[in-house]
Structure 1
Amino acid sequence: MGHQFELQKTVELAATPEEVWAAIATGPGIDSWFMGRSEVEPREGGRTRLSMLGQVAEATVTGWEPGKRFASRTEPGPDGTFLATEYLIEGRDQGSTVLRMVQSGVLGDNWETEYEAMRVGWDMYLGSLAAYVAHFPGRSATPVTAFRPGAGHPDQVWAAVTGAFGVTGPVTEGVPARLTVPGLPPIDGVVDLVGLPTYFGVRTDDAIYRFLHSGTERGNALVVGHHIFAADPDPARTEQAWQEWLDRLPVG
């Protein structure tokens, strides 16, 4: 039996309402901080499309007020489950913006696990949004996604990931992070987002790198969701290089 829910998050962003709108209500903007690849038909009644790891999720735009409100809703599934997402934009002094995100709907039988995953996952994505509008305004990224199911227990996985970046001791924001992925330019940046045991992030001058662990209840999967702002002549090769790195990551 389905379970109704509502989840609310608020974040203050170093960007104007117009910049925030471009980030949350256009395909290139969403690609620069959220999961997968997105398309948005810019009108009320239009369609949105999210593609990730061979799966496609579509929704209908239910609210379209540029600079103020953007909302969408999926069609109910056979079991009655659906998701509705609403963004409310409020401009503040000195060019900043407060963004309120409300997600609601009906979850399935395993609703508690799904709700917790969304609750924590939104913290990572909104943190990525904040990094995007603050450090890469006016630019758009190529999203990179890779997935390793059954990667291992969170402690093992994060020891491997942070160790690969040369991070030792407590994992805190602001510490240097360096990594070489075969076939790609070296990564040299700082840890900019920490929400262990669920997520870990690094920012460089031309990319936002994100790693997300699903938790033991959802299969101990490790997901890579990066946003590359540098010009990339071969995005498919970049994604393949990250998948190979993920598959070879020595866990445990």
Structure 2
Amino acid sequence: MTHEFEVRESIEIEATPEQVWEAIATGPGVDSWFMGRNEIEPGEGGRTRMTLAGMTEEATVTAYEPGKRFAYRSDESPEGTFMAMEYLIEGRQGGGTVLRMVHSGFLGDDWEAEYEAMSVGDLMYLRKLAVYLKHFPGRISTFNLFAVGPQVPADRAWAAFGDALGLPGAPAAGAAVRLSVEGLPAAGGVVEWADRGFVGVRTDGGLYMLLHGHLDTVVVEYHHYTGDLDTGRLETAWGTWLERAFA
């Protein structure tokens, strides 16, 4: 049995409508703040593809108005489930942009847990988009990390996040941090947001999001924008951290 759903969010972004469009309607732009590797064929009727953890999800572009509106709808599953995304871009007089998002469709039997995860996660990814465009405008992520850890209670995840960030307590927005993970050089940064199981941390070279998400799963995401990076070393270090922090 399918269940209809809809999530609506909006956010103010310190960027032009053109910059927001590039970030939501082009593959490299989406790569720079969202999950996986993305391809977007421009124009209504174009196809989109997101590849993550060896799986590829495809969709069809249903609206394509540069600088104004972008929408797509995923292919329908045999059970009749699908998701659709619509972004509305509104430039503000004096600068800045308001981005409105509508996430809708039909979910399957596990719809309650999925809906709860999306109702939180959608806003958190919009926050990540806003931080990306404010602090790394014009830069494209050269490497994306998406490391999945175990399923643990929220208090354990929050304590481990604080420990990795060199904080005496739980992470809080505005806190200066010293990101320290064995196998990587320590890096200074700042907590951009900490809310409902999600912590966004900006460093000089990139943007981290540590999250306690769907089904109590811990995930570490990272987008790298500047200079060279030993990607193998970074992947190994965070993989080891996930194993040891929650052993």
TM-score range relative to shorter protein = over 0.9
Q: Please say if residues 89 and 99 of structure 1, whose CA atoms lie closer than 8 Å, have aligned partners that are also in contact.
A: yes
Alpha-carbon displacement from aligned partner over 1:18-65 (angstroms, at most 9, x marks no partner): 000011111111111111221111121111111112221111111111
2:220 corresponding residue in structure 1: 224
Q: Extract unaligned runs of 5+ from structure 2.
A: none
Counterpart of 1:242?
238
> What aligned pairs does 1:194-209 form with structure 2 within 5 A after superposition?
194-196=194-196, 198-209=197-208
User: In structure 2, what is the Cα distance between the partners aligned to 1:170 and 1:241?
Assistant: 22
Aligned length: 246
Which residue in the other structure is 1:27 paired with?
Answer: 27
SS at match of 1:49: strand
Residue 121 of structure 1 corresponds to which residue in structure 2?
121
Q: Which residue of 2 aligns with 1:41?
A: 41
Larger displacement relative to structure 2 (104-113 or 48-57): 48-57
Query: What one-letter code is carried by the residue in structure 1 that aligns with 2:231?
Result: P
- Once the two structures are TM-superposed, the CA of residue 182 in structure 1 deviates from its matched residue by 3.6
Paired letter, 1:137: P
Give TM-score, length-normalised by structure 1: 0.92
Partner of 1:191: 191
Q: Following superposition of structure 1 onto structure 2, how do residues 1-252 of structure 1 map, counting pairs within 5 Å?
A: 1-141=1-141, 142-150=143-151, 152-196=152-196, 198-215=197-214, 218=215, 220-250=216-246
Amino acid at match of 1:9: E
Partner-residue secondary structure (3-state), 2:94: helix
Is the Cα–Cα contact under 8 Å of residues 181 and 242 in structure 1 kept in the other structure? Answer: yes
- Rounded to whole Å, the distance in 1 between the matches of 2:128 and 2:201 is 10
Question: 1:95 aligns to what SS in structure 2?
Answer: coil
What is the rounded CA distance, in whole Å, between the counterparts of 1:100 and 1:14 in structure 2? 14
Give the distance between the partners of 2:86 and 2:236, measured in 1 at CA. 34
Distance 1:95 1:80 in 2: 42
CA distance in 2, matches of 1:95, 1:174: 24
| Alpha-carbon shift at residue 161 of structure 1 (Å) | 1.5
CA RMSD of aligned residues (A): 1.5
Tell me how far 1:250 sits from its aligned partner. Answer: 4.1
Kindly report structure 1 stretches of 4+ aligned residues shifted beyond 6 Å: none
Partner of 2:194, secondary structure, is strand
Report the TM-score, using the length of structure 2 for normalisation: 0.94
